[in-house]
């Protein structure tokens, strides 16, 4: 069953919990997306369960990944076809052999990997399964501040993704992103660099008067188990 919650946010009545219906975005389809006001490459990748680097590659978009309202983005890899001529003139083929030097890759040559040490974004009183798609709903306490689970950069801050309410998406490295939804208000802006444990939002409230946070993790654009990476939950 699809888990549905609602949240009262600043300046708006009720915002409902995640409802994923990617094919009903105006002008978009399963293979393309029309950029709307407030969209970022990261938010589109998140909404469509894609890796933002793949979207950038498929659409020839370079850093800092600027996109424009009304722009049509492809959501699938484009296959390039090469036409071969039916006639080849006879040519003498001269074979050349090049000796290639082999460089051994040692641990010193490899770039250091960022070791991530996750923490729960709130003091979790109760953990519930989120939507049928992914993510979890964390039940907290009144007035609690939401904190970044690790250091990173805020790549989306807004309420443009249907079903997430006031949402933050943080990129931690080339692999991991986390999302924090249903917030009452956001405390950081898009583009901000945040530290682990830094306050980034104020927890929201659902129709049962509970203080809740929707929390989700992605690795290479795909949803992963929050419980697998977070410290053991002892609620």
Domains by residue range for the chain, with CATH:
1-77+117-230 (2.70.70.10)
Looking at residues 87-96, what average pLDDT do you find? 55
Looking at residues 41-53, what average pLDDT do you find? 84
Confidence of residue 74 (pLDDT cuts 50, 70, 90): confident
| Closest-CA residue to 20 (of 162, 157, 218) | 162
pLDDT over 70 at 27, yes or no: no
Q: Which burial class, exposed, middle or buried, applies to 110 when counting CB atoms under 10 A from its CB (0-12, 13-18, 19+)?
A: exposed
- What is the tens place of the pLDDT at every residue in 97-153? 555 544 444 444 444 455 899 999 999 888 887 553 568 999 999 989 999 999 999
Chain Cα centroid distance, residue 184 = 20
Instruction: Give the residue carrying structure tokens 């800092």.
Output: 64
**73, 59 Cβ separation under 8 angstroms:** yes
What percent of the chain stands above pLDDT 70? 71
Residue spans of alpha helices (H) in the chain = 41-47, 52-58, 226-229
Residue positions counted in the chain: 235
Confidence of residue 170 (pLDDT cuts 50, 70, 90): very high
**214, 223 Cβ separation under 8 angstroms:** no
């Amino acid at each position: 069953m699809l888990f549905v919650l609602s949240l009262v946010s600043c300046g708006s009545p009720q915002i409902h919990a995640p409802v994923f219906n990617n094919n009903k975005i105006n002008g978009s389809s399963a293979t393309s997306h029309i950029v709307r006001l407030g969209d970022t490459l990261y938010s589109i990748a998140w909404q469509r369960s894609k890796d933002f680097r793949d979207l950038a590659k498929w659409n020839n978009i370079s850093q800092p990944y600027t996109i424009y309202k009304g722009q049509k983005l492809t959501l699938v890899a484009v296959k390039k076809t090469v036409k071969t001529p039916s006639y080849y003139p006879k040519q003498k083929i001269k074979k050349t052999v090049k000796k290639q030097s082999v460089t051994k890759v040692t641990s010193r040559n490899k770039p250091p990997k960022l070791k991530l040490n996750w923490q729960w974004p709130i003091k979790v009183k109760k953990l519930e399964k989120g939507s049928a798609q992914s993510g979890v709903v964390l039940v907290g306490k009144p007035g609690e501040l939401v904190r970044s689970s690790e250091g990173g950069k805020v790549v989306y801050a807004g309420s443009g993704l249907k079903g997430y309410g006031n949402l933050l998406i943080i990129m931690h490295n080339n692999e991991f992103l986390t999302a924090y939804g249903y917030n009452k208000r956001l405390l950081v802006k898009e583009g901000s660099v945040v530290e682990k444990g830094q306050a980034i939002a104020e927890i929201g409230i659902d129709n049962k008067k509970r203080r809740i946070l929707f929390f989700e993790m992605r690795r290479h654009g795909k949803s992963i188990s929050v419980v697998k990476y977070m410290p053991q939950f002892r609620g």
